[in-house]
Amino acid sequence: MVFLIDYENVKNPGMMGTEFLQAGDHVIIFYSTAAPNMEERRLADIKASGCRFQICKLIKVRKNALDFYIAARLGELWGGGYRGNAVIISKDDGFHSLADYGGHWINPQRRVLVSESIERGIVSANEPDARTARVRQKLKSLDIGAFYSAYAEGLRLRKMLDEAFADTQFLDRTGEMETILRSGKTPKVIYLDTLRKFGRKDGLLIYKKLKDCADF
């Protein structure tokens, strides 16, 4: 996937999602002296990804100059045979005209997406791969109240486990026990998982205490 980033327009918020970049990606950052700096972590992510990385600095300030740079570079990519998704990272609605052009006037058609950040661009491209699924999961909306209830329950359960195993050799493994209790659908599943994790002898002792903590 190619990411053409209008950095003067989006700045650091537009770089959200650099941790999802891959070796097969091509990242081109268009910038000017008006916005010459980027968070180090974003640049480190780009380097670590192994993607093809290029920059294009504005030569002379003119109205919408970087927009023309991006349009010209996209044309070069198409002319050079690129057939994959192109994502323009910008909040400028004018770039949707490039999407219209690529999808209507070019044969075969070229897909152009416009998004406010790298991670949103990955989701918009909707490529059928594990990366898209990971980003989509990260951006999933959750009910704040429900999340807090689960959080509070986790604190309560951890406190009970710490108290139950305070004087035992298993105190440093209460995190594993919490996982067993949270993932177990029935007492039988919890029982079997405990024995599998801790062995029959220790597992039986631990299960008895878990029963008291889980109240089943």
Residue 186: how many other CB atoms lie within 10 Å: 9
For residue range 186-216, what is the model confidence (pLDDT) as tens digits?
A: 899 999 999 999 999 999 999 998 888 776 6
Tokens of 76: 């070069």
* Domain residue extents for the chain: 2-138, 144-214
**How high is the pLDDT of residue 138?**
96
Average pLDDT in the chain: 94
For residue 112, give the 3-state DSSP assignment. strand
Whole-prediction pTM: 0.81
Sequence-ordered alpha helix ranges (H) in the chain: 7-10, 40-49, 65-79, 96-104, 118-125, 130-138, 144-164, 174-183, 187-198, 200-214
Q: Strand 86-89 to strand 52-57: parallel, antiparallel, or no bridges (unpaired)?
A: unpaired
State yes or no: pLDDT of 16 exceeds 70: yes
Segment 157-169 mean pLDDT: 91
**How high is the pLDDT of residue 149?**
94
| Backbone angles phi and psi of 114, in degrees to 5 | -120, 125
- pLDDT over 90 percentage in the chain: 86
Q: Say if residues 3 and 73 touch (Cβ distance below 8 Å).
A: no
List the one residue out of 172, 182, 178 whose CA is nearest residue 209. 178
Q: Say if residues 54 and 27 touch (Cβ distance below 8 Å).
A: yes
For residue range 70-117, what is the model confidence (pLDDT) as tens digits?
A: 999 999 999 999 999 999 999 999 999 999 999 999 888 999 999 999
Phi-psi region of 23 (alpha: psi -120 to 50; beta: other; left: phi over 0): alpha
**How high is the pLDDT of residue 8?**
96
**How high is the pLDDT of residue 183?**
86
List the one residue out of 99, 100, 102 whose CA is nearest residue 110. 102
